[in-house]
């Protein structure tokens, strides 16, 4: 059984529609795929409706959290699985995050406009397919205009890396964790050792998260050097956390392929029996 628990569609910063992603998952030989768009469940419905035979969908999201307990603050991503999408306090928090993302995108568009670059907010929203708008959508607009060649180039300091970048506000990670647990979900700390993306999460903080109800950590991820995967496993064993592996597939926005890393079926079964918010959905 091949299980990939971390993918993005056009509902956030992936390039495949939720429907196309489900077809891609089958083509990649997956039995189980989780849809984990940033701060939204907008892709759940279309993915569910397009579920091919033989594929099981785990509905999830990747929440952008922040730990405000130190200086500098630590940005971290929390994968939330099988939570009740109707749980009011979580719905409200996600809506607030998306509002602040919209506001941020508008601000960055204004900075580009001030330098004579004719990107519009409407265009960015259209390409975000109703989900969360982010810098990758702005990057795509710059590529369409031939101003940059790739998303990586768009993220350099001259562009969205610094010059046209605005800070974002994130949910306090302990609040996010509590809300996911209250909604009957299971949470996994995404890529805690991804130094290249500025996501090194201190072990002491992971221990605090474990004590606060974190369920697992993602050890096998393309941004983790081999030594860090082993470190994450050791830490998980010490803290009583489960270990997952996943691709963090983004379509053509990143080079990683679906199923590049997978999760042990026993861990997946444990997840399914722990969650109470919503069940995995099997194709017809």
Nearer to Zn ion, 170 or 248 (CB): 248
Sign of CA dihedral 223, 225, 228, 233: positive
170 touches Zn ion (CB under 5 A): no
Residue 32 CB: number of other CB atoms within 10 A?
Answer: 21
Cα–Cα distance, 227 to 86 (Å, whole number): 40
Q: For 46-52, which contacts have Cβ atoms below 8 Å and span 24 or more sequence positions?
A: 46/17, 46/18, 46/19, 47/9, 47/18, 47/19, 47/21, 47/22, 48/281, 49/19, 50/18, 50/19, 50/22, 50/23, 51/22, 51/281, 51/282, 51/283, 51/284, 52/22, 52/23, 52/25, 52/26, 52/283
190 touches Zn ion (CB under 5 A): yes
- Range 57-76, binding Zn ion (CB under 5 A): 62
Structure tokens given for 15:
């390039």
At closest approach, how far in Å is the CB of 216 from Zn ion? 15
List the one residue from 139, 159, 248, 259 that touches Zn ion (CB under 5 A).
Answer: 248
Nearer to Zn ion, 36 or 140 (CB): 36
Nearer to Zn ion, 62 or 220 (CB): 62
Nearer to Zn ion, 46 or 132 (CB): 132
Nearer to Zn ion, 62 or 170 (CB): 62
Nearer to Zn ion, 17 or 246 (CB): 246
Distance linking the first and last C-alpha atoms of the chain = 18
135 touches Zn ion (CB under 5 A): no
77 touches Zn ion (CB under 5 A): yes
16 touches Zn ion (CB under 5 A): no
At closest approach, how far in Å is the CB of 268 from Zn ion? 18
Cα–Cα distance, 190 to 61 (Å, whole number): 11
Piece of the chain touching Zn ion by CB under 5 A; list 22-30, 47-55, 128-136, 184-192? 184-192
Site string for Zn ion, 80-119 (x = CB under 5 A): ----------------------------------------
Using CB under 5 A as the criterion, which residues of the chain lie in contact with Zn ion when the complex forms?
62, 77, 190, 248
């Amino acid at each position: 059984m091949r299980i990939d628990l971390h993918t993005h569609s056009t509902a956030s910063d992936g390039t495949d529609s939720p429907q196309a992603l489900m077809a891609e998952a089958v083509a990649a030989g997956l039995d189980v795929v989780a849809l984990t768009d940033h701060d939204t469940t907008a892709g759940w419905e279309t993915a569910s409706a397009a579920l091919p035979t033989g594929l099981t969908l785990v509905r999830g999201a990747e929440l952008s959290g922040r730990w405000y307990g130190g200086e500098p603050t630590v940005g971290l991503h929390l994968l939330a699985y099988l939570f009740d999408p109707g749980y009011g306090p979580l719905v409200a928090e996600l809506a607030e995050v998306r509002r602040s993302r919209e506001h941020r995108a508008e601000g960055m568009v204004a900075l580009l406009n001030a330098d004579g670059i004719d990107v519009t907010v409407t265009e960015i929203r259209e390409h975000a397919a109703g989900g969360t708008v982010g810098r990758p959508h702005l990057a795509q607009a710059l590529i369409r205009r031939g101003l940059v060649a790739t998303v990586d180039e768009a993220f350099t300091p001259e562009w969205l890396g610094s010059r046209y970048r605005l800070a974002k506000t994130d949910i306090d990670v302990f609040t996010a964790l509590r809300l996911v647990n209250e909604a009957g979900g299971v949470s996994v700390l995404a890529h805690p050792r991804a130094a290249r993306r500025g996501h090194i999460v201190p072990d002491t903080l992971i221990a605090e998260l474990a004590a606060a109800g974190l369920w697992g950590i993602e050890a096998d991820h393309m941004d983790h050097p081999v030594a860090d995967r082993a470190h994450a496993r050791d830490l998980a064993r010490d803290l009583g956390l489960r270990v997952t592996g996943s691709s963090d597939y983004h379509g053509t926005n990143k080079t990683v392929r679906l199923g590049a890393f997978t999760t042990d079926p026993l861990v997946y079964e444990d997840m399914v029996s722990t969650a109470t918010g919503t069940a995995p959905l099997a194709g017809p």
